[in-house]
Structure 1
Amino acid sequence: MRLVRFGAPGEEKPGLIDDEHVLRDLSHEIDDIAGSVLSRDGLAHLASLDPKSLPKADPSHRLGPPVGRIGHFLGIGRNYAEHAKETGAETPTQPLLFSKAPSAIGGPHDDIIMPKDATKLDYEAEIAIVIGEEALYVSEAEAMDHVAGFCLCNDVTERTFQKDRGGQFIKGKSSPGFGPLGPWLVTKDRIEDPQAFDIWLNVNGEPRQKGTSADMIFSFATLVSHISHFMKLMPGDVITTGTPAGVGAGMNPPRFLQVGDIVTLGASGLGEQRLVVVERKS
Protein backbone atom coordinates (compact mmCIF):
# COMPACT_ATOMS: atom_id res chain seq x y z
CA MET A 1 0.00 0.00 0.00
CA ARG A 2 0.92 3.62 -0.50
CA LEU A 3 -0.39 5.48 2.54
CA VAL A 4 -0.66 9.26 2.67
CA ARG A 5 -1.92 12.07 4.86
CA PHE A 6 -3.54 15.00 3.08
CA GLY A 7 -4.81 18.41 4.08
CA ALA A 8 -3.58 21.57 5.77
CA PRO A 9 -0.70 21.33 8.27
CA GLY A 10 -2.00 19.92 11.53
CA GLU A 11 -5.32 18.94 9.94
CA GLU A 12 -4.21 16.05 7.74
CA LYS A 13 -6.57 13.17 7.00
CA PRO A 14 -5.41 9.59 6.37
CA GLY A 15 -5.60 8.24 2.86
CA LEU A 16 -4.09 5.91 0.33
CA ILE A 17 -3.08 5.99 -3.31
CA ASP A 18 -4.70 3.11 -5.15
CA ASP A 19 -3.21 1.15 -8.05
CA GLU A 20 -4.78 3.59 -10.51
CA HIS A 21 -3.04 6.50 -8.71
CA VAL A 22 -6.32 7.80 -7.26
CA LEU A 23 -6.27 9.44 -3.82
CA ARG A 24 -8.71 7.67 -1.49
CA ASP A 25 -9.98 8.91 1.89
CA LEU A 26 -9.39 6.56 4.86
CA SER A 27 -10.79 8.87 7.53
CA HIS A 28 -13.95 6.76 7.97
CA GLU A 29 -11.78 3.73 8.75
CA ILE A 30 -8.98 5.16 10.91
CA ASP A 31 -8.26 8.47 12.62
CA ASP A 32 -4.64 8.75 11.47
CA ILE A 33 -1.70 6.83 10.04
CA ALA A 34 -0.06 6.52 13.41
CA GLY A 35 0.36 4.26 16.42
CA SER A 36 -1.32 0.86 16.23
CA VAL A 37 -2.51 1.50 12.66
CA LEU A 38 1.12 0.84 11.67
CA SER A 39 1.24 -2.54 13.40
CA ARG A 40 0.96 -5.82 11.50
CA ASP A 41 -2.71 -6.12 12.49
CA GLY A 42 -3.42 -2.48 11.66
CA LEU A 43 -1.87 -2.72 8.22
CA ALA A 44 -3.57 -6.05 7.57
CA HIS A 45 -6.92 -4.36 8.21
CA LEU A 46 -6.13 -1.61 5.71
CA ALA A 47 -4.93 -4.16 3.16
CA SER A 48 -8.23 -6.03 3.47
CA LEU A 49 -10.20 -2.98 2.31
CA ASP A 50 -11.30 -2.59 -1.29
CA PRO A 51 -9.74 0.74 -2.30
CA LYS A 52 -12.59 1.38 -4.76
CA SER A 53 -15.04 1.31 -1.85
CA LEU A 54 -13.27 4.29 -0.28
CA PRO A 55 -14.32 7.85 -1.18
CA LYS A 56 -12.19 9.66 -3.71
CA ALA A 57 -10.43 12.76 -2.38
CA ASP A 58 -9.56 15.92 -4.24
CA PRO A 59 -6.06 15.33 -5.65
CA SER A 60 -5.24 19.04 -5.29
CA HIS A 61 -5.00 18.63 -1.51
CA ARG A 62 -1.62 19.29 0.06
CA LEU A 63 0.19 16.09 0.99
CA GLY A 64 1.56 16.13 4.51
CA PRO A 65 4.09 13.79 6.08
CA PRO A 66 2.71 10.26 5.63
CA VAL A 67 3.08 9.39 9.32
CA GLY A 68 1.40 11.19 12.21
CA ARG A 69 2.31 11.62 15.87
CA ILE A 70 5.98 10.78 15.31
CA GLY A 71 7.88 10.32 18.57
CA HIS A 72 11.52 9.64 17.75
CA PHE A 73 12.87 11.21 14.55
CA LEU A 74 16.33 9.67 14.27
CA GLY A 75 19.14 9.96 11.75
CA ILE A 76 22.25 8.01 10.84
CA GLY A 77 25.45 9.78 9.85
CA ARG A 78 27.95 8.73 7.17
CA ASN A 79 26.13 5.49 6.35
CA TYR A 80 26.96 5.36 2.62
CA ALA A 81 30.51 4.37 1.73
CA GLU A 82 30.95 6.98 -1.01
CA HIS A 83 29.48 9.73 1.18
CA ALA A 84 31.83 8.78 4.02
CA LYS A 85 34.74 9.20 1.59
CA GLU A 86 33.61 12.63 0.40
CA THR A 87 33.40 13.92 3.99
CA GLY A 88 37.06 13.04 4.57
CA ALA A 89 36.11 11.35 7.84
CA GLU A 90 36.75 7.80 8.94
CA THR A 91 34.23 5.14 7.96
CA PRO A 92 32.11 4.38 11.05
CA THR A 93 32.53 1.05 12.79
CA GLN A 94 29.10 1.43 14.43
CA PRO A 95 26.08 3.45 13.29
CA LEU A 96 26.41 7.17 14.09
CA LEU A 97 23.06 7.95 15.65
CA PHE A 98 21.59 11.43 16.12
CA SER A 99 18.16 13.01 16.64
CA LYS A 100 16.16 15.46 14.60
CA ALA A 101 13.40 17.45 16.29
CA PRO A 102 9.93 16.18 15.29
CA SER A 103 8.95 19.84 14.80
CA ALA A 104 11.22 19.81 11.71
CA ILE A 105 8.92 17.36 9.92
CA GLY A 106 6.98 18.57 6.91
CA GLY A 107 5.31 17.37 3.75
CA PRO A 108 6.97 16.44 0.46
CA HIS A 109 6.20 19.77 -1.22
CA ASP A 110 6.46 22.12 1.76
CA ASP A 111 9.06 24.88 1.81
CA ILE A 112 12.55 24.56 3.25
CA ILE A 113 12.84 27.61 5.50
CA MET A 114 16.25 29.29 5.62
CA PRO A 115 17.06 29.59 9.35
CA LYS A 116 18.20 32.81 10.95
CA ASP A 117 22.01 33.17 10.64
CA ALA A 118 22.28 30.16 8.30
CA THR A 119 25.25 30.20 5.89
CA LYS A 120 25.72 26.54 4.93
CA LEU A 121 22.30 25.04 4.16
CA ASP A 122 22.63 21.54 2.71
CA TYR A 123 20.49 18.68 1.40
CA GLU A 124 20.60 14.91 1.93
CA ALA A 125 18.33 12.54 0.00
CA GLU A 126 17.58 9.54 2.19
CA ILE A 127 15.38 6.49 2.73
CA ALA A 128 13.49 6.54 6.03
CA ILE A 129 12.31 3.52 7.99
CA VAL A 130 8.92 3.75 9.71
CA ILE A 131 8.55 1.51 12.77
CA GLY A 132 5.35 -0.52 13.07
CA GLU A 133 5.89 -2.64 16.18
CA GLU A 134 7.66 -1.95 19.47
CA ALA A 135 11.31 -2.94 19.19
CA LEU A 136 13.64 -3.46 22.15
CA TYR A 137 16.73 -5.69 22.03
CA VAL A 138 15.72 -7.22 18.71
CA SER A 139 18.14 -9.24 16.61
CA GLU A 140 19.01 -8.38 13.00
CA ALA A 141 17.13 -11.50 11.92
CA GLU A 142 13.88 -10.24 13.46
CA ALA A 143 14.42 -6.50 13.01
CA MET A 144 12.40 -6.11 9.80
CA ASP A 145 9.40 -7.72 11.48
CA HIS A 146 9.14 -4.45 13.41
CA VAL A 147 9.11 -2.22 10.32
CA ALA A 148 5.87 -0.92 8.79
CA GLY A 149 7.45 0.47 5.64
CA PHE A 150 9.62 3.11 4.04
CA CYS A 151 9.36 6.69 2.83
CA LEU A 152 11.53 9.32 1.20
CA CYS A 153 13.23 11.94 3.39
CA ASN A 154 15.38 14.99 2.81
CA ASP A 155 17.62 15.29 5.87
CA VAL A 156 18.10 19.05 5.48
CA THR A 157 21.12 20.27 7.46
CA GLU A 158 22.75 23.56 8.37
CA ARG A 159 26.43 22.59 8.47
CA THR A 160 27.64 25.48 10.63
CA PHE A 161 25.02 24.69 13.26
CA GLN A 162 25.89 20.98 12.99
CA LYS A 163 29.67 21.23 13.27
CA ASP A 164 30.71 24.60 14.70
CA ARG A 165 28.12 25.47 17.35
CA GLY A 166 29.03 22.84 19.96
CA GLY A 167 27.01 19.93 21.26
CA GLN A 168 25.41 17.33 19.02
CA PHE A 169 24.25 17.15 15.39
CA ILE A 170 20.66 17.91 16.44
CA LYS A 171 21.41 21.65 16.31
CA GLY A 172 22.02 21.51 12.57
CA LYS A 173 19.23 19.06 11.81
CA SER A 174 16.12 20.46 13.46
CA SER A 175 14.98 23.82 12.10
CA PRO A 176 11.44 24.06 10.69
CA GLY A 177 11.28 22.47 7.26
CA PHE A 178 14.38 20.32 7.83
CA GLY A 179 12.51 16.99 7.74
CA PRO A 180 10.23 16.66 4.71
CA LEU A 181 8.81 13.12 4.48
CA GLY A 182 6.82 11.41 1.76
CA PRO A 183 4.94 11.74 -0.53
CA TRP A 184 3.76 8.39 0.77
CA LEU A 185 4.60 5.57 3.13
CA VAL A 186 5.11 2.38 1.15
CA THR A 187 4.37 -0.69 3.24
CA LYS A 188 7.08 -3.29 3.53
CA ASP A 189 5.22 -5.90 1.49
CA ARG A 190 5.48 -3.64 -1.60
CA ILE A 191 9.30 -3.48 -1.44
CA GLU A 192 11.03 -6.46 -3.01
CA ASP A 193 14.55 -5.58 -1.83
CA PRO A 194 15.06 -2.57 0.46
CA GLN A 195 18.79 -2.70 -0.18
CA ALA A 196 18.18 -1.89 -3.85
CA PHE A 197 16.56 1.56 -3.72
CA ASP A 198 17.84 3.99 -6.36
CA ILE A 199 18.12 7.50 -4.90
CA TRP A 200 18.64 10.85 -6.62
CA LEU A 201 18.54 14.58 -5.88
CA ASN A 202 18.74 17.64 -8.14
CA VAL A 203 19.14 21.33 -7.33
CA ASN A 204 17.55 23.66 -9.90
CA GLY A 205 17.54 20.73 -12.32
CA GLU A 206 21.26 20.01 -11.86
CA PRO A 207 21.99 16.42 -10.74
CA ARG A 208 23.77 16.41 -7.40
CA GLN A 209 23.16 12.99 -5.83
CA LYS A 210 22.71 9.61 -7.46
CA GLY A 211 23.16 6.39 -5.52
CA THR A 212 21.68 3.18 -4.25
CA SER A 213 20.92 1.77 -0.84
CA ALA A 214 23.24 -1.11 -1.75
CA ASP A 215 26.04 1.33 -0.80
CA MET A 216 24.84 1.49 2.81
CA ILE A 217 27.49 0.54 5.36
CA PHE A 218 24.85 -0.61 7.86
CA SER A 219 21.71 -2.22 6.44
CA PHE A 220 18.16 -1.33 7.43
CA ALA A 221 17.96 -4.47 9.58
CA THR A 222 21.26 -3.67 11.26
CA LEU A 223 20.12 -0.14 12.07
CA VAL A 224 16.81 -1.20 13.65
CA SER A 225 18.52 -3.89 15.70
CA HIS A 226 21.36 -1.61 16.79
CA ILE A 227 19.12 1.27 17.85
CA SER A 228 16.79 -1.08 19.73
CA HIS A 229 19.67 -1.88 22.09
CA PHE A 230 19.74 1.75 23.27
CA MET A 231 16.04 2.68 23.32
CA LYS A 232 12.60 1.19 22.79
CA LEU A 233 11.45 2.02 19.28
CA MET A 234 7.72 2.68 19.06
CA PRO A 235 5.15 2.52 16.23
CA GLY A 236 5.48 5.64 14.13
CA ASP A 237 9.11 6.32 14.99
CA VAL A 238 11.10 7.37 11.92
CA ILE A 239 14.74 6.54 11.21
CA THR A 240 16.33 8.32 8.27
CA THR A 241 19.19 6.13 7.22
CA GLY A 242 21.99 8.09 5.54
CA THR A 243 22.66 9.74 2.20
CA PRO A 244 24.64 8.97 -0.97
CA ALA A 245 27.60 11.07 -2.09
CA GLY A 246 27.01 14.46 -3.67
CA VAL A 247 26.01 16.70 -0.76
CA GLY A 248 26.86 20.39 -1.06
CA ALA A 249 29.47 20.20 1.71
CA GLY A 250 31.33 17.47 -0.18
CA MET A 251 31.78 19.48 -3.39
CA ASN A 252 34.99 21.36 -4.23
CA PRO A 253 34.34 24.16 -3.55
CA PRO A 254 31.27 23.51 -1.36
CA ARG A 255 27.94 24.57 -2.84
CA PHE A 256 25.18 25.29 -0.39
CA LEU A 257 21.51 26.06 -0.90
CA GLN A 258 20.28 29.62 -1.39
CA VAL A 259 16.84 31.23 -1.12
CA GLY A 260 14.92 30.46 -4.30
CA ASP A 261 16.64 27.15 -5.01
CA ILE A 262 14.38 24.26 -6.01
CA VAL A 263 15.34 20.86 -4.63
CA THR A 264 13.83 17.76 -6.22
CA LEU A 265 14.56 14.24 -5.04
CA GLY A 266 13.20 10.73 -5.34
CA ALA A 267 13.75 7.05 -4.78
CA SER A 268 12.52 4.03 -6.72
CA GLY A 269 9.02 3.13 -5.59
CA LEU A 270 8.87 5.89 -2.98
CA GLY A 271 7.84 8.87 -5.12
CA GLU A 272 9.35 12.33 -5.42
CA GLN A 273 9.63 15.57 -3.48
CA ARG A 274 9.80 19.15 -4.76
CA LEU A 275 10.95 21.70 -2.19
CA VAL A 276 11.67 25.42 -2.50
CA VAL A 277 14.11 27.24 -0.22
CA VAL A 278 12.39 30.34 1.19
CA GLU A 279 13.31 33.17 3.52
CA ARG A 280 12.30 33.01 7.15
CA LYS A 281 9.38 35.39 7.68
CA SER A 282 10.01 36.27 11.33
Structure 2
Amino acid sequence: MSALARIATFTAGGKTRYGAITDTGAIDLSGRHGGQWPTLREVIEAGALRRLAEEAAGLPVDFGLSDIAYEIPVPMPEKIICVGVNFPDRNEEYKDGQAAPSNPSLFIRFPRSFVGHGANLVRPPESPQLDYEGEIVIVIGKGGRRISEAAALDHIAALSLCNEGTIRDWVRHAKFNVTQGKNFDRTGSIGPWLVPFTGEAQIADIKLQTRVNGEVRQSDRTSRMIFSFRKIIAYISTFTTLVPGDVIVTGTPTGAGARFDPPIWLKPGDVIEVEADGIGILRNGVVDE
Protein backbone atom coordinates (compact mmCIF):
# COMPACT_ATOMS: atom_id res chain seq x y z
CA MET A 1 0.00 0.00 0.00
CA SER A 2 1.35 3.39 -0.95
CA ALA A 3 2.39 5.53 1.98
CA LEU A 4 0.98 8.47 0.03
CA ALA A 5 -2.55 7.10 0.33
CA ARG A 6 -2.94 7.29 4.12
CA ILE A 7 -4.42 10.48 5.58
CA ALA A 8 -5.13 10.45 9.31
CA THR A 9 -6.32 12.59 12.19
CA PHE A 10 -3.93 12.30 15.12
CA THR A 11 -2.80 13.98 18.29
CA ALA A 12 0.84 15.01 18.63
CA GLY A 13 2.51 17.54 20.87
CA GLY A 14 -0.74 18.07 22.77
CA LYS A 15 -2.63 19.16 19.65
CA THR A 16 -5.03 17.40 17.30
CA ARG A 17 -3.76 17.50 13.72
CA TYR A 18 -4.21 15.80 10.36
CA GLY A 19 -1.65 14.59 7.90
CA ALA A 20 -0.11 11.81 5.84
CA ILE A 21 1.17 8.63 7.47
CA THR A 22 4.32 7.08 6.04
CA ASP A 23 6.22 4.00 7.13
CA THR A 24 8.49 6.19 9.28
CA GLY A 25 6.19 8.87 10.66
CA ALA A 26 3.51 11.50 10.19
CA ILE A 27 3.61 14.56 7.93
CA ASP A 28 1.66 17.40 9.54
CA LEU A 29 -0.54 18.77 6.76
CA SER A 30 -2.78 20.68 9.18
CA GLY A 31 0.19 22.89 10.03
CA ARG A 32 0.30 23.87 6.36
CA HIS A 33 -3.42 24.01 5.57
CA GLY A 34 -5.21 24.32 8.91
CA GLY A 35 -6.14 27.95 8.28
CA GLN A 36 -8.07 26.98 5.17
CA TRP A 37 -9.26 23.55 6.30
CA PRO A 38 -9.29 23.19 10.12
CA THR A 39 -10.04 19.42 10.07
CA LEU A 40 -10.33 16.58 7.58
CA ARG A 41 -14.07 17.30 7.36
CA GLU A 42 -13.28 20.56 5.58
CA VAL A 43 -10.60 18.88 3.46
CA ILE A 44 -13.17 16.32 2.31
CA GLU A 45 -15.80 18.99 1.65
CA ALA A 46 -13.32 20.87 -0.54
CA GLY A 47 -12.55 17.71 -2.50
CA ALA A 48 -8.89 18.13 -1.55
CA LEU A 49 -8.06 14.75 0.03
CA ARG A 50 -6.17 13.34 -2.95
CA ARG A 51 -4.43 16.67 -3.52
CA LEU A 52 -3.07 16.58 0.03
CA ALA A 53 -1.95 12.99 -0.40
CA GLU A 54 -0.02 13.94 -3.53
CA GLU A 55 1.47 17.03 -1.89
CA ALA A 56 2.78 14.93 1.00
CA ALA A 57 5.00 12.95 -1.38
CA GLY A 58 7.69 15.62 -1.30
CA LEU A 59 7.52 16.55 2.37
CA PRO A 60 9.60 15.42 5.36
CA VAL A 61 8.17 13.61 8.38
CA ASP A 62 7.24 15.91 11.29
CA PHE A 63 6.51 13.27 13.96
CA GLY A 64 7.66 9.73 14.58
CA LEU A 65 5.00 7.04 14.69
CA SER A 66 5.60 6.59 18.41
CA ASP A 67 4.85 10.30 18.96
CA ILE A 68 1.30 10.28 17.60
CA ALA A 69 -2.04 8.95 18.88
CA TYR A 70 -4.64 8.19 16.24
CA GLU A 71 -8.12 9.70 16.48
CA ILE A 72 -11.14 8.68 14.42
CA PRO A 73 -10.31 9.99 10.94
CA VAL A 74 -13.32 12.30 10.40
CA PRO A 75 -13.85 14.38 13.56
CA MET A 76 -17.50 14.81 14.59
CA PRO A 77 -19.15 13.67 11.34
CA GLU A 78 -22.75 14.80 10.95
CA LYS A 79 -23.87 11.19 10.53
CA ILE A 80 -22.48 7.73 11.21
CA ILE A 81 -24.88 5.27 9.59
CA CYS A 82 -24.30 1.52 9.97
CA VAL A 83 -25.62 -1.31 7.81
CA GLY A 84 -26.67 -4.54 9.54
CA VAL A 85 -26.80 -8.06 8.09
CA ASN A 86 -24.97 -7.43 4.81
CA PHE A 87 -23.27 -10.78 4.14
CA PRO A 88 -25.15 -13.97 3.14
CA ASP A 89 -23.93 -16.15 6.01
CA ARG A 90 -24.65 -13.33 8.45
CA ASN A 91 -28.35 -13.42 7.51
CA GLU A 92 -28.40 -17.17 8.11
CA GLU A 93 -26.91 -16.67 11.60
CA TYR A 94 -30.24 -15.25 12.75
CA LYS A 95 -31.90 -18.67 12.23
CA ASP A 96 -35.29 -17.03 11.69
CA GLY A 97 -36.01 -18.76 8.38
CA GLN A 98 -36.27 -15.43 6.59
CA ALA A 99 -34.64 -14.71 3.27
CA ALA A 100 -32.27 -11.78 3.00
CA PRO A 101 -34.30 -8.55 3.08
CA SER A 102 -34.79 -6.44 -0.04
CA ASN A 103 -33.48 -3.31 1.71
CA PRO A 104 -30.61 -2.82 4.15
CA SER A 105 -31.17 -2.66 7.90
CA LEU A 106 -29.75 0.60 9.26
CA PHE A 107 -28.91 2.16 12.61
CA ILE A 108 -27.08 5.23 13.85
CA ARG A 109 -23.97 5.50 16.00
CA PHE A 110 -22.60 8.54 17.80
CA PRO A 111 -18.99 9.72 17.33
CA ARG A 112 -18.07 9.26 21.01
CA SER A 113 -18.88 5.56 20.75
CA PHE A 114 -15.66 5.18 18.73
CA VAL A 115 -11.94 5.49 19.45
CA GLY A 116 -9.03 5.62 17.03
CA HIS A 117 -6.49 3.00 15.97
CA GLY A 118 -4.26 1.83 18.82
CA ALA A 119 -6.62 2.98 21.59
CA ASN A 120 -8.41 0.53 23.86
CA LEU A 121 -12.04 -0.41 23.50
CA VAL A 122 -13.76 0.02 26.86
CA ARG A 123 -15.96 -2.72 28.34
CA PRO A 124 -18.62 -1.07 30.51
CA PRO A 125 -19.61 -2.30 33.98
CA GLU A 126 -23.21 -2.81 32.84
CA SER A 127 -22.38 -5.90 30.73
CA PRO A 128 -19.52 -8.30 29.91
CA GLN A 129 -20.94 -8.91 26.42
CA LEU A 130 -18.57 -6.71 24.40
CA ASP A 131 -18.35 -8.10 20.87
CA TYR A 132 -16.40 -7.24 17.69
CA GLU A 133 -17.61 -6.61 14.13
CA GLY A 134 -15.02 -5.87 11.45
CA GLU A 135 -16.35 -3.66 8.66
CA ILE A 136 -15.34 -1.44 5.74
CA VAL A 137 -16.15 2.26 5.99
CA ILE A 138 -16.99 4.59 3.14
CA VAL A 139 -16.74 8.34 3.69
CA ILE A 140 -18.95 10.63 1.65
CA GLY A 141 -17.11 13.31 -0.32
CA LYS A 142 -19.87 14.85 -2.40
CA GLY A 143 -23.23 15.37 -0.75
CA GLY A 144 -26.59 14.65 -2.29
CA ARG A 145 -30.17 13.50 -1.95
CA ARG A 146 -31.83 10.70 -3.91
CA ILE A 147 -28.51 9.71 -5.46
CA SER A 148 -28.87 7.11 -8.22
CA GLU A 149 -27.01 3.81 -8.00
CA ALA A 150 -25.31 4.70 -11.28
CA ALA A 151 -23.86 7.88 -9.77
CA ALA A 152 -23.35 6.62 -6.22
CA LEU A 153 -19.62 5.94 -6.36
CA ASP A 154 -18.96 9.51 -7.47
CA HIS A 155 -19.98 10.53 -3.95
CA ILE A 156 -17.26 8.52 -2.13
CA ALA A 157 -14.18 10.40 -0.92
CA ALA A 158 -12.32 7.70 0.97
CA LEU A 159 -12.28 4.28 2.62
CA SER A 160 -11.45 3.27 6.16
CA LEU A 161 -12.05 0.43 8.62
CA CYS A 162 -14.34 -0.05 11.59
CA ASN A 163 -14.56 -2.41 14.54
CA GLU A 164 -18.25 -1.87 15.18
CA GLY A 165 -18.06 -3.03 18.80
CA THR A 166 -21.40 -3.98 20.32
CA ILE A 167 -22.78 -4.68 23.79
CA ARG A 168 -24.90 -7.66 22.75
CA ASP A 169 -27.47 -7.92 25.53
CA TRP A 170 -28.18 -4.19 25.25
CA VAL A 171 -29.32 -4.54 21.63
CA ARG A 172 -32.25 -6.56 22.98
CA HIS A 173 -33.40 -4.17 25.70
CA ALA A 174 -36.54 -3.16 23.85
CA LYS A 175 -38.89 -4.51 21.22
CA PHE A 176 -37.29 -3.42 17.95
CA ASN A 177 -34.23 -1.22 18.41
CA VAL A 178 -30.46 -1.73 18.73
CA THR A 179 -29.42 1.84 19.55
CA GLN A 180 -28.40 1.26 23.18
CA GLY A 181 -26.10 -1.69 22.53
CA LYS A 182 -24.41 0.10 19.64
CA ASN A 183 -23.59 3.36 21.42
CA PHE A 184 -21.78 2.76 24.69
CA ASP A 185 -18.87 5.22 24.85
CA ARG A 186 -15.59 3.95 23.35
CA THR A 187 -16.84 0.46 22.48
CA GLY A 188 -15.89 0.64 18.78
CA SER A 189 -13.09 2.02 16.63
CA ILE A 190 -12.59 3.63 13.22
CA GLY A 191 -9.31 4.04 11.36
CA PRO A 192 -6.40 4.02 11.24
CA TRP A 193 -6.66 6.48 8.36
CA LEU A 194 -8.50 7.43 5.20
CA VAL A 195 -7.45 5.94 1.87
CA PRO A 196 -8.60 8.19 -0.98
CA PHE A 197 -11.15 6.49 -3.22
CA THR A 198 -9.94 5.84 -6.76
CA GLY A 199 -12.77 3.87 -8.38
CA GLU A 200 -14.92 0.76 -8.38
CA ALA A 201 -12.03 -1.67 -8.85
CA GLN A 202 -10.71 -0.56 -5.46
CA ILE A 203 -13.81 -1.87 -3.63
CA ALA A 204 -15.17 -4.59 -5.92
CA ASP A 205 -13.60 -7.59 -4.18
CA ILE A 206 -11.85 -6.52 -0.97
CA LYS A 207 -10.87 -9.28 1.43
CA LEU A 208 -12.04 -8.29 4.93
CA GLN A 209 -10.76 -10.18 7.97
CA THR A 210 -11.09 -9.85 11.76
CA ARG A 211 -8.65 -11.49 14.15
CA VAL A 212 -8.79 -11.74 17.95
CA ASN A 213 -5.41 -12.44 19.56
CA GLY A 214 -4.19 -13.60 16.14
CA GLU A 215 -7.05 -16.07 15.59
CA VAL A 216 -9.14 -15.45 12.46
CA ARG A 217 -12.78 -15.00 13.51
CA GLN A 218 -14.29 -13.28 10.46
CA SER A 219 -13.28 -13.48 6.80
CA ASP A 220 -15.22 -12.59 3.66
CA ARG A 221 -15.08 -10.46 0.52
CA THR A 222 -17.01 -7.35 -0.53
CA SER A 223 -18.05 -9.08 -3.77
CA ARG A 224 -20.37 -11.20 -1.61
CA MET A 225 -22.16 -8.32 0.13
CA ILE A 226 -25.96 -8.52 -0.10
CA PHE A 227 -26.19 -4.77 -0.64
CA SER A 228 -23.51 -3.18 -2.82
CA PHE A 229 -21.81 0.11 -2.01
CA ARG A 230 -23.90 1.65 -4.80
CA LYS A 231 -27.16 0.35 -3.33
CA ILE A 232 -26.28 1.50 0.19
CA ILE A 233 -25.55 5.08 -0.87
CA ALA A 234 -28.62 5.29 -3.11
CA TYR A 235 -30.93 3.84 -0.44
CA ILE A 236 -29.70 6.01 2.44
CA SER A 237 -29.80 9.17 0.35
CA THR A 238 -33.46 8.51 -0.45
CA PHE A 239 -34.52 9.55 3.06
CA THR A 240 -31.65 11.74 4.28
CA THR A 241 -29.32 14.21 2.61
CA LEU A 242 -25.78 12.89 2.66
CA VAL A 243 -23.11 15.54 3.33
CA PRO A 244 -19.31 15.52 2.99
CA GLY A 245 -17.70 13.68 5.89
CA ASP A 246 -20.67 11.39 6.58
CA VAL A 247 -19.47 7.92 7.56
CA ILE A 248 -21.21 4.76 6.36
CA VAL A 249 -20.23 1.46 8.01
CA THR A 250 -21.13 -1.21 5.50
CA GLY A 251 -21.70 -4.48 7.39
CA THR A 252 -19.79 -7.33 9.00
CA PRO A 253 -19.20 -10.97 7.95
CA THR A 254 -20.27 -13.98 9.96
CA GLY A 255 -18.18 -15.01 12.97
CA ALA A 256 -18.83 -12.44 15.70
CA GLY A 257 -18.34 -13.68 19.26
CA ALA A 258 -22.08 -13.90 19.93
CA ARG A 259 -22.43 -16.67 17.35
CA PHE A 260 -20.12 -19.12 19.11
CA ASP A 261 -21.56 -21.77 21.46
CA PRO A 262 -20.96 -20.69 24.13
CA PRO A 263 -20.42 -17.04 23.07
CA ILE A 264 -16.88 -15.66 23.26
CA TRP A 265 -16.94 -12.08 24.54
CA LEU A 266 -14.02 -9.68 24.40
CA LYS A 267 -12.13 -9.28 27.66
CA PRO A 268 -9.38 -7.02 28.99
CA GLY A 269 -6.06 -7.83 27.34
CA ASP A 270 -7.55 -9.02 24.05
CA VAL A 271 -6.24 -7.50 20.81
CA ILE A 272 -8.58 -7.17 17.84
CA GLU A 273 -7.32 -6.56 14.31
CA VAL A 274 -9.55 -5.67 11.38
CA GLU A 275 -7.68 -5.92 8.08
CA ALA A 276 -8.73 -5.17 4.50
CA ASP A 277 -6.84 -5.27 1.22
CA GLY A 278 -5.57 -1.87 0.19
CA ILE A 279 -6.74 -0.13 3.36
CA GLY A 280 -4.64 -1.46 6.22
CA ILE A 281 -5.04 -2.88 9.73
CA LEU A 282 -7.14 -1.35 12.51
CA ARG A 283 -5.84 -2.62 15.85
CA ASN A 284 -7.27 -2.12 19.35
CA GLY A 285 -6.93 -3.60 22.80
CA VAL A 286 -9.62 -3.97 25.45
CA VAL A 287 -9.84 -2.61 28.99
CA ASP A 288 -12.55 -2.44 31.63
CA GLU A 289 -14.08 0.96 32.37
TM-score (normalizing by structure 1)? 0.91
Matched, 1:17 2:21: yes
- Give the C-alpha shift of residue 172 in structure 1: 0.7
Q: Distance in 2 between matches of 1:279 and 1:150?
A: 30
User: Identity percentage over the alignment?
Assistant: 34
SS in 2 for 1:183: strand
Match of 1:105 among 101, 114, 133: 114
Q: Distance in 2 between matches of 1:105 and 1:12?
A: 16
Matched, 1:46 2:31: no
- Give the C-alpha shift of residue 200 in structure 1: 1.0
SS in 2 for 1:189: coil
- Give the C-alpha shift of residue 107 in structure 1: 0.3
Q: Distance in 2 between matches of 1:269 and 1:75?
A: 21
Q: Distance in 2 between matches of 1:150 and 1:189?
A: 10
Match of 2:92 among 85, 92, 97: 85
Aligned counterpart, 1:6: 10
Match of 1:178 among 177, 187, 192: 187
Q: What count of residue pairs does the alignment treat as equivalent?
A: 279
Q: Structure 1 unaligned runs (5+)?
A: none
More strand by share: 2
Q: Distance in 2 between matches of 1:9 and 1:74?
A: 32
Query: Residues 263 and 275 of structure 1 are in contact (CA less than 8 Å); yes or no, is this contact kept in structure 2?
Result: yes
Aligned counterpart, 1:158: 167
Label 1:247 to 1:40 Cα distance change in 2 as closer, same or farther (>3 A): same
Aligned counterpart, 2:82: 75
Label 1:262 to 1:47 Cα distance change in 2 as closer, same or farther (>3 A): closer
Q: CA offsets per residue over residues 130-180 of structure 1, 9 Å max, x none? A: 111112111011111111011010000111101234452111111122231
Q: Distance in 1 between matches of 2:13 and 2:81?
A: 21
Match of 1:66 among 61, 70, 73: 73
Q: State the superposition RMSD in angstroms.
A: 2.2
Q: Which amino acid aligns with 1:184?
A: W
TM-score (normalizing by structure 2)? 0.89
SS in 2 for 1:12: strand
Query: Residues 26 and 54 of structure 1 are in contact (CA less than 8 Å); yes or no, is this contact kept in structure 2?
Result: no
Query: Residues 128 and 238 of structure 1 are in contact (CA less than 8 Å); yes or no, is this contact kept in structure 2?
Result: yes
Q: Which amino acid aligns with 1:86?
A: E
Query: Residues 70 and 236 of structure 1 are in contact (CA less than 8 Å); yes or no, is this contact kept in structure 2?
Result: yes
Segment of structure 1 superposing worse, 45-54 or 143-152 = 45-54
Q: Structure 2 unaligned runs (5+)?
A: none
SS in 2 for 1:133: coil
